[in-house]
Amino acid sequence: MDSRPSLDPAVAEVRLAVRQSLAAIAEGATIVVGLSGGPDSLALSAALAFEGPKRGLHAMSVTVDHGLQPDSASVAEAAARQAAQLGLDPLVIRVTVGEEGGPEAAARAARYQVLGDAASDAGAVAVLVGHTLDDQAETVLLGLARGSGAASLQGMAPVSQLAPGVALLRPLLTVRRATTRAACAAEGLEPWDDPHNSDVRYARVRVRENVMPVLESELGPGIAAALARTATLLREDAEAFEEIIDETVEDIVEHAEAGISVSAAALAANPTALRNRIIRHVVAAEFGVSLTRSQTLEVARLVTEWSGQGPIDLPGCRARRTGGLIEFTAR
């Protein structure tokens, strides 16, 4: 008779998510997990510590001390101790957070920069972070509230690039926040609760604490899962659009001495959504800037409502119509 204790369902779910995320990683590779000490990243770290060695991976944790709270250093050290107890090689890095984009955006930028640099220094091929299904749902809802387009409503990608040769993996996008906390409890781990996560000055916290519970109460359970599913569907659509755009751009774009030109007739022949995406794609690829919707529509009018209007000043470039071409030149 097998007397081994049964595996807690929450632990099993987190481990499965991590196992699936690591499936494409070559044996013997180094993997980094971003560990804040919170329940999501702690459950993720425990799962990596269990699954990594089974695949011959070397796993290490990186805890970023943003220095934004009086006890941040002790919190970071506590997280590192738990990582070491799990069998991970812990690293704590202190950063100075700037102010650009607000405190949340600045802290996030600093964190990802540190994680990317640490991974590159260690020769790691991937960094794992602990965003959950609930985080994804909140991201989509915030995008809806801002009137964002499909690119924003796609939420967070399960796989993206963090730095050259370093992938950013989010294994827990199908896992609920309650599950990560339950996994920590089942494994005897002590997560840290970031006070910023209950500070209603932040829009995301208000969505989490006030908006989502009302939606669940009034519309029934499953709202978070539905929002996360919406992100997945939009991401699939976006990937298909990107393939179409890449093929189309090759046929209608010509490089000029001062910039790039696009056939107005070819743009006009495309549906509105595709035309606008091509315009944004061309400007982003050539000049490294992102156009707003109003800027994109202004350029599109050179195609669909041409009446001799003059050049349009855009971030980093200028658009004008010359005969049958839309020309984009550096400013």
- Helices 212-219, 223-252: axis angle to 10 degrees equals 110
Q: Contact 266/275 with Cβ under 8 angstroms?
A: no
Which residue, chain included where needed, has tokens 């040769």?
165
Residues of the chain with pLDDT under 50: 1
User: Contact at 8 Å (CB) between 31 and 125?
Assistant: yes
- The position carrying tokens 């010509």 is 254
pLDDT in tens, 1-28: 455 678 999 999 999 999 999 999 999 9
* pLDDT tens column, 141-165: 998 888 766 767 888 999 999 999 9
Residues 6+ apart with CB under 8 A from 104: 202, 204
The per-residue pLDDT for 311 is: 93
Residues 268-283 pLDDT 10s = 999 998 899 899 989 9
pLDDT of residue 214: 95
Give residues with Cβ within 8 angstroms of 183, minimum separation 6.
8, 10, 11, 13, 14, 39, 43, 46, 47
